[in-house]
Structure 1
Amino acid sequence: MIWTILIGLVAGLLARAIKPGNDAMGWIMTIVLGIAGAFVGGFIASAIGVNSDGGFIGLAFSVIGAIILLFIYELIISKTSA
């Protein structure tokens, strides 16, 4: 459980650092973003036939999934504030 939270934090922080823009969210949302990104990244990896069980490949797909979720989050926030 703690390992999942730490990996989620790392994946969320990396995704927020890579994706340009102002994503105002706290630590908890960053962890949730990373954990959810791991699920999305795992789905993408299995869809293209890549084994992403841990290691660098797993982290890379987690970050890719988190970046996708950040774009979706940004679309939702921009529509509700407009």
Structure 2
Amino acid sequence: MSGVGLIMAIIIGILAGWIAEKVMRRNHGILMNLVVGVVGAFLGSFIAGMLDIEFGGILGSLLVATAGAILLLFLLGLFTSRRRALH
């Protein structure tokens, strides 16, 4: 998350995780939302960098973190549903 401080990064992570949770129809707690949001921010930043997409500030960081968090939950959903199908 470029251009934001640590406290703002935590707030953005929680918000991104919460938005992703609602979009993907999951039910996590605030701590898991933070984890999903922060990991999603890293994932989203990595992908945005590879695609040469620039973002900055709070809104840009929130959008990229949310997109990354949604992608993360989607990929985790694929993994867990495959795992359940194998048992």
Q: What is the TM-score when the length of structure 1 is the normalising length?
A: 0.80
Assess, with a 3 A threshold, how the Cα gap between structure 1 residues 81 and 24 changes in structure 2: closer, same or farther: farther
Q: Are positions 1:57 and 2:57 aligned together?
A: no
Indicate conservation of the 8 Å contact 2:12/2:58, yes or no. no
Larger radius of gyration: 2
**Uncovered stretches (5+) of structure 1, i.e. residues with no partner:** none
Decide which of 9, 33, 36 is 2:14's aligned counterpart.
9
Q: Cα RMSD over matched residues?
A: 1.7
> How much does 1:79 deviate?
3.1
Structure 1: which 4+ aligned runs deviate by more than 6 Å? none
> How much does 1:48 deviate?
1.4
Amino acid corresponding to residue 64 of structure 1 in structure 2: A
> How much does 1:35 deviate?
0.4
Q: 1:1-82 counterparts in 2 under 5 A?
A: 1-19=6-24, 21=25, 23-82=26-85
**Uncovered stretches (5+) of structure 2, i.e. residues with no partner:** 1-5
Corresponding residue pairs, total = 80
Amino acid corresponding to residue 7 of structure 1 in structure 2: I
1:36-79 deviation line (CA, Å, top 9, x unaligned): 11111111111111222323222111111000000112122223
In 2, the alpha carbon distance for the partners of 1:39 and 1:76 equals 20
Instruction: Name the % identity.
Output: 36
